[in-house]
Amino acid sequence: MTVTFLILAALTLAGTVAAMAMRNLIHCVLALTLGFAGLAALYLLLGAQFVGFTQVLVYVGAVAILAVFVIMMTQSAGPAMQPIFSSFWMTGSVVAAAVFVVLAWAICRSGFASQVLPPPVEAAVHPIGDALMHGYVLPLEIMGLLLTAAMIGAVVLAMHEKRRTP
């Protein structure tokens, strides 16, 4: 493992653990955005350009920002005091540990690690973009129009009428 990989892995883990541990929702979403960005950097480090750039565009650029706007628009003025742990934290921990043990056992017994990997396929961003802009331009435009209509619908639903005070 290289030093760059270890730094990016630590950054990704720190962002996701902070997203789970913080109590302020805005801070949680921003920490999750850091985790998404770290994951995108890991994809780029591993040579998966399209997946890395898609991660940046979709999750960092759209989902995280949308979550920040939703929280800011729907949250009340004062923070609600909630306990840090729910009443079922022990049950959740036992179930999570059991799932981890079963998955680790299945991976170790599968022999997947001893398989020889095929040579990597060269999948650069340019051929994918070329295919999208020439062969699939009509479905891409239709998808863009549908997403724009959904965004406009969400804005209309989120708008509140201002009440006039006498």
- Between CA 17 and CA 31 the distance in angstroms is 8
Q: What is the pLDDT along the chain (166 residues), one digit of tens a residue?
A: 689 999 999 999 999 999 888 888 888 889 999 999 999 999 999 888 888 888 998 888 888 888 887 777 776 555 566 666 677 888 989 999 999 999 999 988 887 767 777 887 776 778 888 887 888 889 889 988 998 898 888 777 777 544 444 5
Per-domain boundaries in the chain = 1-76, 124-166
- What per-residue confidence (pLDDT) applies to 114? 74
**Sequence-distant contacts of 47-52: CB under 8 A, at least 24 apart:** 47/120, 48/123, 49/123, 49/124, 49/125, 50/123, 50/124, 50/125, 50/128
- What per-residue confidence (pLDDT) applies to 117? 76
- What per-residue confidence (pLDDT) applies to 79? 59
For residue 106, the one-letter residue type is A
Is the CATH number of domain 1-76 2.40.50.140?
no
What does pTM read for this prediction? 0.61
- What per-residue confidence (pLDDT) applies to 81? 62
- What per-residue confidence (pLDDT) applies to 166? 52
Please, are residues 23 and 84 in contact by the beta-carbon 8 Å criterion? yes
